[in-house]
Amino acid sequence: MLSSTLIVALGAIMPVSVDAFTGFSRMKQLVKIDVLNPADLNNVGSTDGDDSFELLGDLVTLSFSDLTPVGRDITDLLMRTGGSPESDVAYINVPALNSTACAEDTCCVWKYIADEMTDLFRGESGRCTKWARMAVRLGFHDAGAWSKATASEGGGADGSICLTDEYTLPENGGLEDMCLQMTTWYDEWHNQKGFNISMADLIRYVQ
Ligand code: HEM
Ligand SMILES: *[C@@H]1O[C@H](CO)[C@@H](O)[C@H](O)[C@H]1NC(C)=O
Ligand SMILES: *[C@@H]1O[C@H](CO)[C@@H](O)[C@H](O)[C@H]1NC(C)=O
């Protein structure tokens, strides 16, 4: 799927170490940066002693059996109890966009959105374009200001980076074009085509 393709590609080119940014200790708590590197993910049990085993958000408040298969995989990966970082699920026989069958299947409209995003994100060589990189970064910048201490006030992965003028803040520099593109997709899928797709979901879908 789109997301696993992107993550695998990014893991190959950009095994980021958050330890390099010591001034960002709060973000460091939030971001399990190893997720960017599939090699690390597959290396269950390997730890440098500095890895967090703490779960956050829905992963804490919902019981394991109430999680989606993806939620369970993420829990297992974070806790080093298994889980798969990649999905080979394929969506074939996609109903026509405006059909009743499509309306009855939550995934259906997202296949059409994925196809449109992929056109922009995959270059002629098959590698990620600058849009793919910006879109991955955008997801982090939308979500990164969330804090356990202020979780009850909301914030975080809510699409506000593009829905408000947050994208003009200096720390979000370079993401303006991506927000314009997300806004174009939002207009198309939320408004024009009437699917009520949220900005937060569009941004998150790239991850
Ligand atoms: C506190 C942690 C982080 C810091 C301080 C940081 C900092 C930066 C900086 C300074 C750039 C260069 C921006 C520019 O071109 O002007 C950058 C680019 C990028 N960051 Fe981060 N980053 C962090 C975490 C992350 C995370 C968690 C992700 C992925 C989810 C990410 C994805 C990217 C990507 C994909 C780019 C390249 C964007 C492009 O090529 O257009 N970063 N980051
Ligand atoms: C689906 O319906 C919307 C309006 O509701 C229209 O804009 C769009 O072109 C239609 N798409 C197809 C593939 O028929
Ligand atoms: C559109 O989605 C929002 C949640 O994102 C929901 O609250 C609202 O009721 C939806 N509107 C329609 C017309 O379905």
Pocket test for ligand 2, best of 109, 113, 188, 193 (most atoms within 8 A of CB): 193
CA dihedral of 135, 137, 142, 147, whole degrees rounded to 10: 150
Ligand 3 centre to CA of 63 (Å) is 27
Same domain, 14 and 109: no
- 199-206 helix and 130-143 helix, angle to the nearest 10 degrees: 120
Domain that residue 168 falls in: 91-207
Q: What is the pTM of this model?
A: 0.76
Domains in the chain, number: 3
Same domain, 14 and 39: yes
Same domain, 34 and 63: no
136-144 average pLDDT score: 95
Same domain, 154 and 77: no
Ligand nearest to the CA of 178: 1
Question: What local confidence, expressed as pLDDT, does residue 153 receive?
Answer: 83
pLDDT tens digits for 15-53? 333 332 222 333 333 333 334 455 555 555 555 677 788
| Residues framing ligand 2 (Cβ under 6 A) | 97-98, 192-194
C-beta 3 within 6 A of ligand 3 = no
